[in-house]
Amino acid sequence: MQREEALRLVRGRVKNENLVKHMLAAEAIMGALARRLKEDEERWRLAGLLHDLDVEETAGRMDLHASLTVEWLRAVGFQDQEVLHAILAHNGENSGTPRETLMDRALFACDPLTGLITAAALIRPEKKLAAVTVQSLRKRFKEPAFAKGARREDILTCQDLGLELEEFLAIGLHAMQEVADDLGL
């Protein structure tokens, strides 16, 4: 599946524009992580872009989240097993799919990072990613009341990728800054 087809699928299934932006942010971070870890950027980007395709449909049913996405992707002929596994594994505690591969671990760690970075931009007067620094992200990371949904323990699994928190924050921030216009930030 090419990116354009994946984006059409996202736009056709996901009505909440903020959720679409989250998926675009995850796509950007996954691409940057792939480059850093010398992995297949196109496939990693697809995992980021498609990982929450079913969130609106499975709201309140986390046991179905990701499984429905994989079902839909298979129905349209998508067969990349590593990407499908990463999508399932990002909701592993509910899907029963363990994080086994580097892609699995990357998607799991980057998913909440998008929320932390977005929240850090939105509290700025200019509401722009350009105003966010790694130093400010480190500070906000330590504040449990800030961006509560961005689970710090999940973000810290970046260490399973061989990355320290500061480098992971920098990779994520710079990736999102590169697509700031698409994110409206």
Range of the domain at 13: 3-183
Q: Is the pLDDT of residue 94 over 90?
A: no
Handedness of CA 92, 93, 95, 100 (dihedral sign): positive
Task: State the pTM of this model.
Answer: 0.97
Split into its structural domains, the chain has a count of 1
- Spatial distance between the Cα atoms of 155 and 71, rounded to a whole number of angstroms: 27
* Average of per-residue pLDDT across 97-105: 97
Handedness of CA 104, 57, 118, 23 (dihedral sign): positive
pLDDT computed for residue 60 by the predictor? 85
pLDDT one-digit tens code per residue, 127-178: 999 999 999 999 999 999 999 999 999 999 999 999 999 999 999 999 999 9
- Spatial distance between the Cα atoms of 118 and 129, rounded to a whole number of angstroms: 8
| DSSP letter assigned to residue 132 | -
pLDDT range class, residue 181, cuts 50, 70, 90: very high
CATH of the domain at 119: 1.10.3210
Nearest CA to 121 among 166, 165, 184, 178?
A: 184
